[in-house]
Amino acid sequence: MRPGDPHDPLLRQVLPLDAEMRPMPGFALDAVGDTAAKAGDGVIRKYRGRALLVATGSCAVHCRYCFRRHFPYAEEAAAAAGWRHTVELIRDDPGIDEVILSGGDPWSLATHKLAELTDALSAIAHLKRLRVHTRLPVVLPERVDAPLLDWLAALPWPVTVVVHANHANEFDASVDAAMARLRGAGATLLNQAVLLRGVNDDIQALCELSERGFQAGVLPYYLHQLDRVQGAAHFEVDDARARQLHAAMAARLSGYLVPKLVREVAGDTGKRPL
Ligand SMILES: *Cc1c(COP(=O)(O)O)cnc(C)c1O
Ligand code: SF4
């Protein structure tokens, strides 16, 4: 963050504003239907073939646009009750071939906790891939330490780490080094960003995000329209503007630097392209 700049794009992501308290029609507590999709303690089964584990409710930052800002973590974190039930659910469903560790931020869990889970999952023959959605390599790169890398490198599946960076300024030398360590441990690195008014809703910022991420070894994956969660309305960018920005990115960047523009629709089994 640039000291003294109230419009800094990194500050805007974490700064609580009065605007959040204004009730806005169309903005709900559970914006993406997660409560309805819960299959059991900490497991969300709304994506076809994928089981999403709400591994923990803890994060290293509290993002004001977060789609789970009202999620009942205390009742739902899979690690809280031990992993046994979670692992049974996945074992009993051969339709699941990928486990997604989510949260909260799954890498806010101690490495030995993660290892407990993946040791148990490694006995399940129908699992083919593991994915981790985390902001920690960006907001706390020190978390990418030797024990975490040893854990990662020893996993029996190909691993994808989706880091969530919304602005090029989130990358610096220590983040680059953390990304390099992750790639060294064999992970594929992707980025999922949210289109946020006042943070990255201009063509320059979006192109720089793709280019800067790639420089750190991270490929753009999704550019997400905001989930309409209560308290986040001031971040919303309308669809017409989103499409216009996305088209401008496609016109300017190499194809592999253009993320998919998507939104989450409650009840869908995958993201919906705009
Ligand atoms: C969309 C999403 C997923 C899974 O969907 P994919 O289309 O398979 O990537 C997992 N975690 C988060 C945070 C998501 O937004
Ligand atoms: S790190 Fe992710 S889960 Fe945590 S507050 Fe930010 S957006 Fe939400």
Write down the pLDDT at residue 35.
Answer: 67
The response to whether residue 57 sits with its C-beta less than 6 Å from ligand 2 reads no
The response to whether residue 269 sits with its C-beta less than 6 Å from ligand 1 reads no
Helix (H) or strand (E) holding 163: strand 159-163
The response to whether residue 105 sits with its C-beta less than 6 Å from ligand 2 reads yes
Q: Is the pLDDT of residue 231 over 70?
A: yes
Over range 47-60, report the average pLDDT. 90
Site to substitute for ligand 1 among 98, 100, 191, most atoms within 8 A of C-beta: 100
Q: 45: pLDDT confidence band, cut at 50, 70 and 90?
A: confident
Q: Which domains does the chain have, with CATH numbers?
A: 9-273 (3.20.20.70)
Q: Is the pLDDT of residue 99 over 60?
A: yes
The response to whether residue 102 sits with its C-beta less than 6 Å from ligand 1 reads yes
Residues 6+ apart with CB under 8 A from 224: 192, 193, 194, 195, 262, 263, 264, 271
CA 85 vs CA 35, 55, 133, 147, 196: distances in Å:
18, 13, 21, 26, 37
Distance between CA atoms of residues 182 and 96, nearest Å:
25
- 71 vs 118, higher pLDDT: 118
Q: Is the pLDDT of residue 196 over 90?
A: yes
Task: Tell me how far the alpha carbon of residue 59 lies from the centroid of ligand 2, in angstroms.
Answer: 6
Ligand-binding site membership of 63 (annotated)? yes
Over range 21-33, report the average pLDDT. 84
> Can you read off the two tokens belonging to residue 222?
């999704």
Q: Is the pLDDT of residue 82 over 80?
A: no
SS3 content of the chain, % helix, strand, coil (to 5): 40, 15, 45
| Four-point Cα dihedral 61, 77, 127, 94, nearest 10 | -140
| Cα separation of the two ends of the chain | 31
Over range 71-96, report the average pLDDT. 79
CB 148 within 8 A of CB 132: no
Task: Tell me how far the alpha carbon of residue 243 lies from the centroid of ligand 1, in angstroms.
Answer: 20
Residue 226: count other Cβ atoms within 10 Å of its Cβ: 22
Mean pLDDT of the chain: 92
Q: Is the pLDDT of residue 67 over 90?
A: no
The 10s digit of each residue's pLDDT in 201-227 is 999 999 999 999 999 999 999 999 999
Residues in the chain: 274
Distance between CA atoms of residues 207 and 248, nearest Å:
9
Over range 9-27, report the average pLDDT. 93
Q: Is the pLDDT of residue 74 over 70?
A: no
